[in-house]
Copies of this chain bind each other. A is one copy, B any other.
Amino acid sequence: MKNQTTKDRPQRILDTALLLFYNSGYFNTSVHDIQHAADVSIGSIYHHFGNKQGIARALYHHLADQMTEAVFQIMAENAGLYRQGRAFLDYLFAMAETAPAAMHYILCARHQEFMPGEKSICSSKPFERIQQRIRQAMDQGEIRKLDPAIASAALFGGAIRLIHLRLDGVLDRPLSDCAAETWQCAWRCVALQ
């Protein structure tokens, strides 16, 4: 009767929820909304995810893992913080354009409000890894010695800000057009000379 599975139901539920969360926010999206938009029964949702928070958590871990993997791959495939940082920025900007709902959920959503106890994404694996790399680059004399938190914020704060503006509809230019100049600006913050 219901929509036959091109994708399995749990995945379809997650995809639908992510889209609705992006368009309306977590709290403005009811389980009934998800059920309806995903063309799935409400029983199915509760069977797979337990409760509404369960959807949010599954989504969060899925996307955070994805980003962690991307970060480690970028570290492995690029040499030097300058190129690694640029590759990461390109990854973030590209994802914000091609998968805005996912990027918004990772970077803009107020996780603590609907997933109490969940670690902030900023203090989780991918961002930890980057800060660790920044520290290393300082020790190796690749960049200036700065407070690591300030250095991280300086290097990626501008990019993250632009992503926020873009996803909130304030910036109407595709982020890819901003990548080079943004990274040039950011690198000056930490460059040795």
Size class of A's contact patch?
Answer: 35 or more
Q: Residues of B contacting A110 with CB < 8 Å?
A: 25, 108-110
Q: Is the interface of A mostly helix, strand, loop or mixed?
A: helix
Number of copies: 2
- Contact digits for A169-193, partner B, Cβ 8 Å, 1 yes 0 no: 1110100001001100110111100
**A161 at interface by CB-CB < 8 Å:** yes
Contact across chains for A153 and B149 when beta carbons are under 8 A apart:
no
Q: Residues of B contacting A150 with CB < 8 Å?
A: 158, 162, 178, 181-182, 185
Contact across chains for A185 and B190 when beta carbons are under 8 A apart:
yes
**A88 at interface by CB-CB < 8 Å:** no
Q: Residues of B contacting A190 with CB < 8 Å?
A: 185
User: In the complex, what residue of chain B is closest to A108 when comparing beta carbons?
Assistant: B110
- Contact digits for A144-166, partner B, Cβ 8 Å, 1 yes 0 no: 00110111011011111110110
* Complex CA distance for A113 and B181, rounded to whole angstroms: 31
Mark A residues whose CB is within 8 Å of B.
Answer: 24-25, 27-28, 108-110, 112-113, 120, 122-123, 146-147, 149-151, 153-154, 156-162, 164-165, 168-171, 173, 178, 181-182, 185-186, 188-191
